[in-house]
């Protein structure tokens, strides 16, 4: 019998349907965040496919090469190929890193 990890925040864990998942659990997200450690990847929450976005909430799609923030509407949902990260689900330093912010003066805005 194979012992599978059950903690959804650990790298390689198997997430149940609808359960929160992290960039550590998604191969495409790992490719988008190639220089990140497993510990940092575990801090990046991804919305499940088909999840409705919250009106007015801020998101970023890891597949967007420009990594631009966008504002969700209640009519929007995560597409099958979306790697949507909600701003409210990550620490400010992780959000800034996702967006590619590297200078100290810009980090103070997060």
Every domain of the chain and the residues it spans: 21-107
pLDDT classification of 14: cutoffs 50, 70, 90? very low
Q: Interior CA angle at 101 toward 95 and 105, to 5°? A: 110
- Helix locations, 1-110, DSSP H: 27-32, 38-41, 92-98, 104-107
What is the spatial distance between Cα 106 and Cα 88, in angstroms, rounded to a whole number? Answer: 19
- CA nearest neighbour of 5 among 28, 22, 37: 22
Residue 81's nearest CA partner among 63, 58, 57 is 63
User: Residue 101: its pLDDT value, please?
Assistant: 83
Q: Would you place residue 5 in the very low, low, confident or very high pLDDT band (cuts 50, 70, 90)?
A: very low
- Spatial separation of the C-alpha atoms in residues 6 and 17, rounded to whole Å: 13
Instruction: Tell me what the pLDDT averaged over the chain comes to.
Output: 81
Of residues 77 and 108, more confidence is placed in 77
Helices (H) and strands (E) in the chain, counts: 4, 5
pTM assigned to the model: 0.75
Of the chain, the percentage scoring pLDDT greater than 70 comes to: 74
Which band of pLDDT confidence, cut at 50, 70 and 90, is reported for residue 74?
very high
């Amino acid at each position: 019998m194979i012992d599978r990890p059950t903690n959804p925040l650990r790298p390689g864990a198997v997430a149940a349907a609808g359960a929160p998942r992290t960039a550590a659990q998604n191969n495409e997200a790992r490719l988008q965040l190639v220089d990140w450690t497993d510990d940092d990847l575990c801090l990046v929450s991804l919305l499940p496919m088909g999840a409705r976005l919250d009106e007015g909430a801020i998101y970023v799609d890891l597949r967007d090469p420009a990594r631009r923030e966008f504002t969700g509407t209640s009519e929007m949902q995560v597409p099958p190929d979306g790697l949507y990260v909600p701003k409210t689900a990550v620490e400010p330093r992780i959000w800034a890193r996702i967006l590619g912010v590297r200078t100290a003066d810009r980090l103070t805005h997060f």
